Structure 1
Amino acid sequence: MKDLVEITTKYQPAYIERCLSSMAGLHEFSVTFYQDVGELYGTLTRLRNVERNPTGFSTDDAPILGLLVRISKLVKEVVKYYKIDNAEIISALERPMIEASIVATYLMFNGPDAVTDYRKCSYKDRLRILRDSESGSRFFETKAGKRLLAAVREKMRLEGLTKDDFATQKKNGWKLQGKNFRTIFSEIEHDDLYAVTYGVMSESIHGSWNESMDWGLVRNNDGTFSAFTDYHPADIRFMAPILNFTTRPFRMWLERIDAYDENIRGTMDWIERVNTRLFCTFDSLYAGEYDSKRE
Structure 2
Amino acid sequence: MADLALMGIGLNIVSRLGSPTMEEIAQVLKKYDEEYIRQHFVDVPSINAFALSFFKDVADIYDAITRVRNIERNPKGFDVDDAPILGLLVKIWKLLKEVLKYYEQNNAELIGVLERPLIEAAVVATYLMQSDKSVVEDYRKCSYKDRLRILRDLESGSRFFESKAGKRLLASVREKMSNEKLTVQDFDEQKKNRWKLSGKSFYEIFAQVEHVDLYACTYGMMSESIHGSWNESIDFCLSRNADGTYSTFPFFQPADVRFVSPTLRFTNKPFRLWLRRIEADDPNLVQALDWIERVNTAIFLRFDEAYDN
* TM-score normalised by length of structure 1: 0.97
Q: State the 4+ residue runs in structure 1 displaced beyond 3 angstroms.
A: none
In the alignment, the residues of structure 1 paired with residue 40 and residue 247 of structure 2 have an alpha-carbon distance, to the nearest angstrom, of: 38
- What CA distance in whole angstroms lies between the structure 2 residues aligned with 1:22 and 1:207? 34
Work out the CA distance in 2 between the residues paired with 1:155 and 1:24: 48
For residue 164 of structure 1, what is the aligned residue in structure 2? Answer: 185
| Aligned residue among 188, 204, 225 for 1:204 | 225
Taking the aligned partners of 2:167 and 2:89, their CA distance within structure 1 comes to 32
Equivalenced residue count is 288
Give, in whole Å, the separation in 1 of the partners of 2:297 and 2:166. 49
Considering only aligned residues, what root-mean-square deviation do their CA atoms show, in Å?
Answer: 0.6
CA distance in 2: counterparts of 1:209 and 1:139, whole angstroms? 36
- Residue aligned with 1:204, SS: coil
Give the C-alpha shift of residue 7 in structure 1: 0.3
**Unmatched segments (≥5 aa) in structure 2:** 1-21
CA distance in 1, matches of 2:91, 2:81: 17
Map 1:99-248; keep pairs closer than 5 Å: 99-248=120-269
Residues 18-29 of structure 1: pairs in structure 2 closer than 5 A: 18-29=39-50
1:42 counterpart (30, 38, 63): 63
CA drift of 1:274 comes to 0.3
Q: Distance in 2 between matches of 1:142 and 1:5?
A: 52
What is the deviation of 1:111? Answer: 1.4
* Equivalent residue, structure 2, for 1:61: 82
* Match for residue 296 of structure 2 among 275, 281, 288: 275
Corresponding residue for 2:101? Answer: 80
One-letter amino acid of the counterpart of residue 183, structure 2: T
* Structure 1 position 181, deviation (Å): 0.4
Looking at structure 2, the residues matched to 228 and 140 of structure 1 have their Cα atoms a distance apart, in angstroms, of 44
Task: Provide the C-alpha distance between the structure 2 equivalents of 1:132 and 1:168, rounded to a whole number of angstroms.
Answer: 22
One-letter identity of the residue aligned with 1:256: R
1:17 shift after superposition: 0.4
SS in 2 for 1:245: helix
Distance 2:294 2:273 in 1: 18
SS for the counterpart of 1:226 is: strand
